[in-house]
Amino acid sequence: MGPDQLAELVDRYGAALVLYARQWCDCPEDVVQTAMLKLVRVNTPPENLIPWLYRVVRNGAIDASRAAHRRHKYEAAAADSAPKWFSPSYDPTGLDARTAAAALADLPAETREIIVMHLWGGLTFEQVAQAVGSSAATCYRRYAAGLDTLRAKLGAETPTKTK
């Protein structure tokens, strides 16, 4: 893989991969960088590159989380320093970032990771399914149920279908 291809991958998927890794660890940028380095080192790029990247990031983030837990097992304050899901910003819709982040964090881990990969990562349900080892239909059902739960918790309206 050439530098231009790698730069394009980082530009297109880097932020979404960082957000995805943030579910498990407090060093998501490091995990994404390590995943990109692993990609550079492979002789033959994976056939399904994007799901492969998400899987490597997921595994790396889980490993990083376990390592951090071992380092900080006696620090009660570590739980209070969890990273934020959203950056504070002005939102004319009135959506409170802390409330939205809390609602997202309350979802089951499987549902949350599917929502993050599809909504922010832009992956298709087929790609999400490859990354999490499930079927596209199951991923879609979890995604739809998760959005319904988020709408209910945030008091948002369910969009109506137009023909």
Within-domain flag for 107: yes
Choose the weakest-confidence range: 10-14, 42-46, 88-92, 127-131: 88-92
CATH of residue 123's domain is: 1.10.10.10
The stretch 126-144 carries a mean pLDDT of 94
The stretch 64-91 carries a mean pLDDT of 64
Whether the model pTM is above 0.75:
no
User: Are residues 9 and 66 located together in one domain of the fold?
Assistant: yes
pLDDT(80) > 90 = no
- H, E, C per residue of the chain: CCHHHHHHHHHHHHHHHHHHHCCCCCCHHHHHHHHHHHHHHCCCCCCCHHHHHHHHHHHHHHHHHHHHHHHCCCCHHHHHHCCCCCCCCCCCCCCCHHHHHHHHHHCCHHHHHHHHHHHHCCCCHHHHHHHHCCCHHHHHHHHHHHHHHHHHHHCCCCCCCCC
Structural domain of 61? 1-74
User: Are residues 55 and 98 located together in one domain of the fold?
Assistant: no
User: Are residues 106 and 145 located together in one domain of the fold?
Assistant: yes
CATH of residue 18's domain is: 1.10.1740
User: Are residues 99 and 69 located together in one domain of the fold?
Assistant: no
> What are the tens digits of pLDDT across the range 94-105?
667 788 888 888
pLDDT(78) > 50 = no
> What are the tens digits of pLDDT across the range 2-47?
889 889 999 999 999 999 999 999 999 999 999 999 999 998 889 9
Last residue of a domain, one of 19, 42, 74: 74
Mean residue pLDDT of the chain comes to: 85
pLDDT(147) > 80 = yes
What is the total count of domains within the chain?
A: 2
